[in-house]
Amino acid sequence: MKKTRKTGEPINRREMVKRTAAGVGAAIVLPDPGETATKTPTSFAGLAADYDKYDGLGLAALIAKKQITSLELLNAVRQRVEALNPKLNAFCDLFFDKAEAQIKTGLGNGAFKGVPFALKDIGIHMAGVKTISGSRVFKNYTPNFDSTLVERYKQAGLVIFGRTTSPEFGLTTTTESVLFGQTRNPWDLERTSGGSSGGTSAAVAARILPAAHGSDGGGSIRIPASCCGLFGFKPTRGRVPMGPTQFESWNGCSHHHVLTISVRDSAALLDATAGDELGSPFLSPKPARPFLKEVGAPIGKLRIALAIEPTTGSPVDPECRQATLDAAKLCEGLGHHVEEARLPIEDSIMRGAFLTIIRVSMARTLEDAAKVLGRAVTDQDVEPITWLIAQAGKQISSVEYSRAIATMHQTGLAMAKFMQRFDVILSPTLAKLPVKLGVLSLSRNDVQGYSKDVGEFGPHTALYNVTGQPSMSVPLHWTKDDLPVGVMFSGRFGQDDLLFRLAAQLEKAKPWAGRKPKV
């Protein structure tokens, strides 16, 4: 018979580790109701002490059971922001007054009712809150409407209190800007937190909140997830709405979702936000059931392609290589078949098309920005690399642009054929450890050096933006110096459900949520 603990008896370290490893999604310690007064918070002070032991669904459960109020939870987050943001610079805007108003006027009745949440400062709008996109060009832009995604976040019951930092227009894989400065990695304050969702990754890794919004146009959810030891999931193209003012970004390469501590939060948040949007040019296959039900579901034996070497030919850091090899061994130990494979991609052609799309998109963005500024944008309004990207976009012909779109489609076809042999592709998320701040900044004047450094840092991720396939970074490795190293698993178009099943299996086999930075 299973022994039960007497009320008031403390949980010892060994038992906590066992409970942390047990059960899918239980990498966050979720105390049972009434277990002990010291482990189940019934007051603001109790929650402040135990807050980082809960994921988003865990916090929502406390609110639903009236063990804590939404306002007390928001105040606990406010305390953490005040204590940690000066070190990290993860937030560029805070509006706790608006969050309090959301609570007072009534929250949506979704799975995350009362849970604090933050939006990345790019590509998503909230009425009465600035959307700055990390750029001086839009520093005064305040929309009067909610994006469809924000509407769905509110329906889920989330309490939105702030904006997380992004580099200018999300154009690089670090989070640094002239306007807001450098965002720091909680694991090493001299290193990047990744980009472009680096404010989100820093905030979640530091346990300021258990989940927050991000977007991914070339790896911008998965890269910061790898840098900060988080679970970062990029859904299938068209899965998450982007309207109503813009239904695609970078010709369908950019996707929105979240960075989280637990797999189950990511799945539940995708359930809350996924679905068709009126006017959208993209539709993703509808799931057979809620994604949350995939967490812990049987997965069977997967055929996994191991693709460590970048198609660019750039080198892979030994730690990133070892992390991927260890993940392959873990998958084999779980009963999956892992086979080395070479991806069917000519990188220079694929990447050339991808960069063409970005350059043209930036040329349009700066031209449209003139309507906000009331004059043409000049090189004094944006960072040097941003300006050069936009100027290059103006030189691209309509034929080149059309050819780039056709190349994207052919890349998707080639990968779809490849995926007939495999269920999942395993590769490093990054080819380097988180680099020092400044290396990937858009304020550099040597565009060739910048392009080389960005390309060598994250050569694996952009492919899945071009093809629209679901892809995730899973935190399975840390260096001896306690730097996190993510590994990337990518699935067939539309098969987000399979990735969640695999992620949950990995989370149970090798839990990560107990590892926290000492910031």
Q: Which of the residues are catalytic?
A: 120, 196, 220
Strand, coil or helix: 260? strand
Across 131-149, b (16+ Cβ under 10 Å) vs e yields bbbbbbbbeeeebeebbbb
Contacts of 233 (CB under 8 A, 6+ apart): 221, 257, 258, 260, 266, 270, 470, 471, 472, 496, 499, 500, 503
Q: Are 167 and 89 in contact (CB under 8 A)?
A: no
Lookup: tokens for 474: 């899973």
Residue with tokens 């565009």: 447
Contacts of 469 (CB under 8 A, 6+ apart): 236, 415, 419, 490, 491, 492, 493
Residue (of 119, 194, 210) closest to 513 by Cα position: 210
Query: Do you know the residue count of the chain?
Result: 519
How far apart, in whole angstroms, are the C-alpha atoms of residue 151 and residue 83? 30
State the amino acid at position 366 in one-letter form. Answer: L
How far apart, in whole angstroms, are the C-alpha atoms of residue 427 and residue 331? 13
Residue 255 Ramachandran class (φ > 0 left, ψ -120 to 50 alpha, else beta): beta
How far apart, in whole angstroms, are the C-alpha atoms of residue 243 and residue 252? 12
C-alpha distances out from residue 247 to 242, 281, 336, 455, Å: 5, 7, 38, 27
Q: Cα 376–379–385 angle (5° rounding)?
A: 130
Q: In this structure, how many other beta carbons lie within 10 angstroms of the beta carbon of residue 83?
A: 12
Sign of CA dihedral 31, 36, 38, 43: positive
Residue (of 135, 168, 157) closest to 63 by Cα position: 157
Peptide bond just before 196 cis, omega within 30 deg: yes
Element (H, E) at 192: strand 188-192
